[in-house]
Amino acid sequence: MRIIARRTLREFWEQHRDAEQAIRAWYHDAKVAHWRSPASIKRVYVNASIVGENRVIFNISGNRYRLVVAISYRYEVCYIRFVGTHQQYDRIDVTTI
């Protein structure tokens, strides 16, 4: 998968050092993945939540943080839509962000 934009992830882990290792691991996994459908994501990330508008929510660092990506399965692209704490996550609408 192509991931747009890694910079968003890096800026987040620079502010939240405890998330760096988990975000880097997710980035590595996603970069080499060939996700063709939500089911292919669920095979690897059982706790990922699949929501509308091709959005997937990943739990980061023992569920302390949330990562929301929009996925174009056809073009194998992950668009980082949100990364933040649970409190920040609770204030967004994942289908429109």
Identify the pLDDT of residue 95: 84
In a domain, 69, yes or no: yes
In a domain, 95, yes or no: no
Residue 26, classified by CB atoms within 10 Å of its CB into exposed (0-12), middle (13-18) or buried (19+), is buried
Q: What is the pTM of this model?
A: 0.91
In a domain, 96, yes or no: no
Check: CB of residue 41 under 8 Å from CB of residue 76.
no
Residue range of the domain that includes 32: 2-89
Check: CB of residue 43 under 8 Å from CB of residue 33.
no
Identify the pLDDT of residue 86: 87
Residue 48 is encoded by which pair of tokens?
Answer: 């990922």
Residues of the chain scoring pLDDT < 50: none
Identify the pLDDT of residue 63: 86
In a domain, 37, yes or no: yes
Q: Are strands 65-72 and 77-85 parallel, antiparallel or unpaired?
A: antiparallel
